[in-house]
Structure 1
Amino acid sequence: MDQPAVAAPRGAHARRSRAQRDRSASVPPGQGRFLRFYLLLFGADALLGWLAWTMARPITHGLEYPLWSLRGAVASALSDVVVFGGLLALVAFRVVHHERRCFVDLGLRGPGRSSEFRRGYGLGLAWTAGAMVVAVAAGWTVVSGSVPPSTLLAFAPLWMVVTAFQAGVEEVIFRGWMLPLLAQRWGPYEAVTVQALLFGCLHLLVDANTTLAVLHGLVFGAFAGLYVLYRHGIWGAIGIHSAYNFAAIPLISLSTGGKYGPAGWHYAAITLTGIGVVVMLALDIRDRRRR
């Protein structure tokens, strides 16, 4: 008579199954290959940005406030499609053809995606408006009427869609693909730090107050990374990032005479986001101790 199979200890079986899933789900690259791919993304961002600028320049020529005219808004939206669509295509190709994974494995699976996005979007709107209140109260900026409310409302749907696409691509790259990969190599908090640094470095390509843009990207990258660790998915971070980018357009425009550029709002937003980093770190540490 055949002897019955001896069941493996439950904990060992779970660890082995988890390890098998990890091995089958991804192909962890070496450090050199990882850095080369990031540099490829950086170079592609620069090249696509130049291409988008070349395409948009004839359309926006002569416009004082390109974001708030039909020609300028369409040109800006097409530019974002070129840049972020190209970056998304590169990451999707790597994940599907090199790592042999499904694209939705980049933190896009799981229940509650809609509720997570809505919760994040509400938080992002409140955060951005709060930064504006702080900036005005501190005397760092003033609200002007250069852009009529009717114009803001008319262009709001377009910018909501564009910023959601833009933010979604960045979250997929940095918090969906990069963060888990780095955490597997070095640990969660090291991963948050590295991806935040690289996310900030990507903002070296921003031509409006580059230093401030890099600092803002660094602090937000740390917050978004910790938020993803805490919520165990990227949909909430996509919502926050989308609302953050969307609300920043009219708020900065209102505080800088219709031009999207440096303003006191940035300083307030960086400060509030830095507080958010501390709060999320404390919450994540508390949850890890409870497990």
Structure 2
Amino acid sequence: MTQSIFSSEPHRGWLPWAWLSPVVCILLVAFSSVPIDLGLESIGLVDAKGEPRSAFGFCVLLLLPFAAMGAAVWAWSHFVERRSLATLGLTGEQGLRKHLTGLAIGVGMIALAVVSIWLAGGYVSGDVLPALFSPESLFWIAVLLPCFAFQAGVEEFIFRGWLLSTATRRWNLAAGFIASSAAFTFLHFSPHQPVREIVMAFTFGLFACAWAWRAGSIWGVMGWHAGWNWFTGVGFAVPITGLDLQLPALVVQLTPTGPDALTGGPAGPESSVLTIGLLAAATLFLLLWPRGAPGSAQRPPANATNRPNAG
């Protein structure tokens, strides 16, 4: 008897145990993406630290490694676990509408976080709408949106689609949340980073899990993640997960002046204590929002059961 959060369709193959699923995830991601990362460095699109040297390099970094990761996880789920895409969160109607709604919410939430940091004295404002005076910059800003949508969609497919549902089926929802968020945090870890950034990655993972669970699909959280990442980088010319797009701001140029705990430091506003607090509050809202409240998704109950033929 196993729990399902997206679709009650049975799996017909072998599911890794809940404790093993994050390990499988990390191995699939590492072995599929590292060779491509090394290749991008060898041809000069990224530097030795993995940072893109140009907007074009950033786009390639968002596409090729993530395409390999997504293909690896899909192949595992299809050939080993023998599961349908519906069980991985790609289910339900109006997927495009949910994705676009999520994208708008993601843009709004990161804008709220950045403005909060700004009002608290973490940023000094500079030029307003500087990207509008550079057609080349506007071109790359537009191109980066579908690239971020692809990158974010693959991450959500892996961590909140496949891993969350696998660990939940093998044990329970809490195990799914922990396994998904722990693997997400591990793969975003770098030596010597502040504890604050580790907490941020785990909180980000918990929020995305709560959204996917509450919605009964990953369409919306895929859009949210895309809007969050894209607008962080292009809206205010601040780093996104420590990476700089090297483009003028679409809204207003901001320069960090406050302490790293407030501004997020080199990692950008994602790692601000204010942003962590925002995501923690949003996670609690999603977890505690009454199921019968207006807007609650109609989804299978958490104790829906499958009878797998194997595993």
Same topology, TM > 0.5: yes
Measure, in 2, the Cα distance between the counterparts of 1:73 and 1:283.
Answer: 40
Deviations 1:120-150 (A, max 9, x none): 1111111010001100001122233399322
> In angstroms, what is the RMSD of aligned CA positions?
3.3
Paired residues of 1:106 and 1:177 also in contact (CA < 8 A) = yes
Conserved? CA contact 1:171–1:237, under 8 Å: yes
CA distance in 2, matches of 1:49, 1:209: 24
Q: 1:202–1:54: structure 2 CA closer, same or farther, 3 Å change rule?
A: same
Q: 1:2-54 deviations in whole A, cap 9, x for unaligned?
A: xxxxxxxxxxxxx9xxx994244x53223575344123135336624641551
Aligned to 1:275: 281
Amino acid at match of 1:273: L
1:170 equivalent in alignment to 2:144: no
Q: Which runs of 5+ in 1 are unaligned?
A: 1-14
Distance 1:53 1:146 in 2: 34
Deviates more, 1:224-233 or 1:196-205: 196-205
Percent identity, aligned pairs only? 23
Please tell me whether the aligned partners of residues 252 and 263 of structure 1 are also in contact (alpha carbons under 8 angstroms): no
Q: How does 1:129-148 map to 2 (within 5 A)?
A: 129-145=111-127, 148=130
Report which of the two has the higher share of helix: 1
Change (3 A) 1:22 1:153: same
Q: Structure 2: 5+ residue runs without aligned partners?
A: 239-252, 257-264, 302-311
Q: Does 1:83 align with 2:65?
A: yes
Q: TM-score, normalised by structure 2?
A: 0.72
Alignment pair present for 1:181 and 2:166: yes
For residues 269 and 19 of structure 2, the distance between their equivalents in structure 1, rounded to whole angstroms, comes to: 39
Change (3 A) 1:208 1:59: farther
- The alignment of Structure 1 onto Structure 2 pairs a total of residues equal to 261
Q: Counterparts of 1:133 and 1:59 in 2: how far apart (Å)?
A: 32
What is the TM-score normalised by the length of structure 1?
Answer: 0.77
Greater Rg over alpha carbons, structure: 1
Residue identity opposite 2:146 in structure 1: V
Q: Distance in 2 between matches of 1:137 and 1:109?
A: 40
Structure-2 residue corresponding to 1:262: 267
> Partner of 1:228 in structure 2?
212
Question: Residues 284, 188 of structure 1: CA spacing in aligned structure 2 closer, same or farther, 3 A cutoff?
Answer: farther
Equivalent residues of 1:204, 1:211 under 8 A apart: no
Higher relative contact order (CA 8 A, sep 6+): 2
Q: Secondary structure at the match of 1:142?
A: strand
The structural deviation recorded for 1:107 is: 1.2
Determine the C-alpha separation between the residues in 2 that align with 1:168 and 1:208: 28
Q: Aligned-pair distance for 1:229?
A: 0.9
Q: Which residue is 2:24 aligned to? A: 37
Correspondence list, 1:150-165, <5 A? 150=132, 151=134, 152-165=137-150
Q: 1:222 to 1:59 in 2, by over 3 A?
A: closer
SS of residue in 1 equivalent to 2:126? coil
Mapped to 2, the partners of 1:130 and 1:174 lie a distance apart of 25
1:246 matches 2:230: yes
Letter in 1 for 2:107: L
Preserved CA contact (<8 Å) 1:223 1:274? yes
